Chain A
Amino acid sequence: MKGINKLVIALTAVCLGTALILGGIYAFTRDTIEKQKREKKIRSLKSVLPPTDNEIDKDYIEIDGGKDRRGNPVKVILYHGKKEGQLVGTAFSIIAHDGYSGDIEIMMGVAPDKTITGIEIISQKETPGLGDKILKEKWRSEFKGKSLESKTDKGIPFLDVKKDGGGIDQFSGATITPRAVVKAVREGLKIYERASSKS
């Protein structure tokens, strides 16, 4: 019996020691981790907007963004970017569900005149070298300045991949990914329009 006691004591001591030390380290790093997360959020919000000077991550409204696949309501958070008190753009994140291998999270910025100020891919699991070309700056910049009303030379809505008649490039060997992104961006613009017509 004494032998077993010794085992239990030794193991408990090791576990408790580990837990205590980790607790200390957690307390020490928690603030930095929170700060990093906040900075990352601000960076991604700012990257899709023209220059702003307000505390963008604290200036937001929540709106109803329809339902996800499981039927749960989705909230979309619209962050307002302001310069000298004037609204210069709204940034929000949307999720494209029909990517090639999973959800694609996109951050997009919309100017008050309903044109896109920029898009950024936050997370994606597309095939490396094919679908993940959506990460390229050159491709993402094709969205800038476009809106739901924008037309190509032939008078077809611009926000579609070229294969479907629109003006956005697809990549050889990967149409599904850009198509999913374009579709999600169109949805995002519609959500923005609904929100701005209400307020």
Chain B
Amino acid sequence: MAEINKMAAEIADVQPGIQVPGFSLEKYKYLWSDFMNGLWSENPVLKLVLGLCSTLAITTSTQNGLGMGCAGLFVLTGSNGLISALRKVIPGKVRIPAFIVIIAGFVTLTDLTMAAYTPVLYESLGIFIPLIVANCIILARAEAFAARNPVDRSIMDGLGMGLGYLLTLTVLGTIREIFGNGTVWGASIFGENYIPMIVFILPAGSFILLGLLTGFFNQFTGSKKMTSTEVGCH
């Protein structure tokens, strides 16, 4: 990942002369790094430890993880874009309530759409769809990024963070489904005699698994600064 970033940077550095009006490599470099930032180096769940409730509560299967991830991705990208577009119109003092209403609007939109077109998924996600409103990732990105940056960068940030969230949820869901239920996407893989490790689909197992994943992720990304220790939802 870092290599791609570097390549993008190099391209932009080497060819500063190419300047088609409305198209600048500089800009795309920014957009790309905004995107990768959320997906990897500041992964909202594993690195920033945000949005844990939905992450842990619904990832009992790949399908649920993917569904919730898509809902989160949509709300995050949409609200980031809209908030960024309105950032100069909304006065600073009522910023937070206005952001929350916009986010809640997107969430209700998702809620109604899912109820209408994906009823099975809607039922298994239950109360965690309306609770996306209170997902710290979304308000945190609105406040920290969308309120200060132009629309295109905010959308890229939303997409990156959203995909980071989606991927983490899908991975967690898949691991929990394989061990806790012996299936992948509902199809049995270990045969009839496999005794599922129930703990993986219980709340307790989700805590332990995410704890281990966070640890491994820290090892993998080799960060010296443990950001995760000092984060709540600011």
Contacts and interface: CB of A to CB of B under 8 A. Distances in A.
Check A-B contact in the complex, CB < 8 A. yes
Interface stretch (A15-23, A54-62, A160-168, A187-195): A15-23
Contacts of A25: 108-109, 112-113
B105 A29 contact: no
Contacts of B90: 10, 14
Given A32-B116, A129-B201, A130-B198, A18 B180 contact: no
Contacts of B116: 29, 32-33, 36
Interface in B83-138: 86, 89-91, 93-94, 97-98, 101-102, 104-105, 108-109, 112-113, 115-117, 119
A15 B97 CA distance: 10
Give chain B's interface secondary structure class: helix
Contact of B105 (A7, A22, A33, A128): A22
A22 B108 contact: yes
Nearest to A22: B108
Contacts of B104: 18
A25 B94 CA distance: 26
A154 interface: no
Interface string A31-50: 01100110010000000000
A33 B112 contact: yes
A198 interface: no
Given A18-B101, A129-B198, A29 B91 contact: no
A10 B201 contact: no
Contacts of B189: none
Given A18-B104, A128-B202, A10 B89 contact: yes
Contacts of B97: 11
Interface residues of A, number: 21
B60 interface: yes
Contacts of A6: 91
Give chain A's interface secondary structure class: helix
B201 A15 contact: no
A21 B105 contact: yes
A31 to B, nearest CB: 9
B169 to A, nearest CB: 18
Interface string B13-28: 0000000000000000
Given A7-B91, A10-B89, A129-B196, A29 B108 contact: no
Contact of B98 (A10, A22, A29): A10
Contacts of A26: 112
B94 A18 contact: no
Contact of B115 (A21, A29, A127): A29
A128 B101 contact: no
Contacts of B105: 18, 21-22
Contacts of B108: 22, 25
B210 to A, nearest CB: 17
Contacts of A22: 105, 108-109, 112
Contacts of B180: 128-129
Given A14-B101, A129-B198, A130-B198, A7 B109 contact: no
Contacts of B101: 11, 14-15, 18
Contacts of A128: 60, 180, 198, 201-202
Interface in A126-183: 127-130
Contact of B119 (A7, A18, A40, A130): A40
B200 to A, nearest CB: 9
A25 B115 CA distance: 12
What 10 pairs between A and B have smallest CB-CB spacing?
Answer: A129-B198, A18-B105, A32-B116, A29-B116, A36-B119, A11-B94, A29-B112, A14-B98, A128-B201, A33-B116
Given A22-B109, A128-B201, 9 more contacts: A7-B94, A11-B98, A25-B108, A29-B112, A29-B115, A127-B198, A128-B180, A129-B180, A129-B196
